[in-house]
Amino acid sequence: MPYNSFGATEAGALRKFAVGGYTPVADEFGGSAAVAAALADATHALVQAFPLVALDALQRPDLCAVEARGVEGQTTIAFPAFLRPITANRVHVWRGMPSAFTSRPVLNTDAWQGSGPYGGLSSPTPSGPVVELPPEGFTVTSTGVTLTSGLARNEQVFASWDVTVEDAAYSVPSVADWVELGAAAMLGPKVYAQATAQWEYVSAMVAEWTDLLEALGKGAVTPADLRTARWWRAPERAQDNTVGSVRRYRA
């Protein structure tokens, strides 16, 4: 299933109906296959509603601050748990003191390598932007990367990578909760009629799900997990000549 339903589960969807002492079971909602189909439909609806910038950040994090302030000799760098598992051959890493990141870091394949009459693979490293580490500068692990050489005190590390979103281990808790809400909103009306005592609760879930999709489409809500991650910020000069910043996900 694409995106592995962001980690949503049958148990999570059924818990949406657990009110008072009631413990729901899959058979009451058509069986596990019916619950799985509802999870898949809810996942598809969310993916369609997500602003592309947020969806891209969940599957291809760009310039995520994986170490804001290093300690002397540190080599182990952990990536955010909700942005794993990592696709090993799609990882880019930058390191340097905070003052080095006043301009956007660049890839080894960016234009400076081949620009100008003397451009090419032997071109010197540009004096401005920080350039990504070469492949021998780090090793990809199950939780992040291990640097070949230790950090200096206060050194920062940024990384871009691809997430294997189809993997069973992929899990974004805040989005998984939304998927489970959507699945419950789809299952409830098939089980409870409008004349039943449970209908008010079910209809409230349906309304919440509908409002969520609308808010996502407008870019009015952001997954809580994405809000906890820190990204490279480009300095910008504001109108009052002070320095401001703007969040950048991916160019």
Q: Which pLDDT tens digit goes with each residue over 204-214?
A: 999 999 999 99
Residue 234 has pLDDT above 90, yes or no: no
Strand partners, 156: 96
Strand partners, 91: 161
Parallel, antiparallel, or unpaired: how do β-strands 76-78 and 144-147 relate? Answer: antiparallel
Residue 240 has pLDDT above 60, yes or no: no
* pTM for the full predicted model: 0.84
DSSP type of residue 80: P
For the four alpha carbons of 137, 80, 69 and 57, in that order, the dihedral sign comes to positive
Dihedral-angle region of residue 147 (phi above 0 means left; psi in -120 to 50 means alpha; beta otherwise): beta
- What is residue 167's predicted lDDT score, i.e. its pLDDT? 94
Residue 30 has pLDDT above 90, yes or no: yes
Confidence of residue 20 (pLDDT cuts 50, 70, 90): confident
Which amino acid does the sequence have at 90?
R
Least confident of 27-41, 108-122, 190-204, 228-242: 108-122
Parallel, antiparallel, or unpaired: how do β-strands 144-147 and 156-163 relate? Answer: unpaired
Percentage, residues of the chain above pLDDT 70: 85
pLDDT tens for each residue of 127-173: 578 999 999 999 999 999 999 999 999 999 999 999 999 999 999 99
Residue 228 has pLDDT above 70, yes or no: yes
DSSP H or E run through 90: strand 86-96
Helix (H), strand (E), coil (C) string for 115-159: CCCCCCCCCCCCCCCCECCCHHHEEECCCEEEECCCCCCCCEEEE
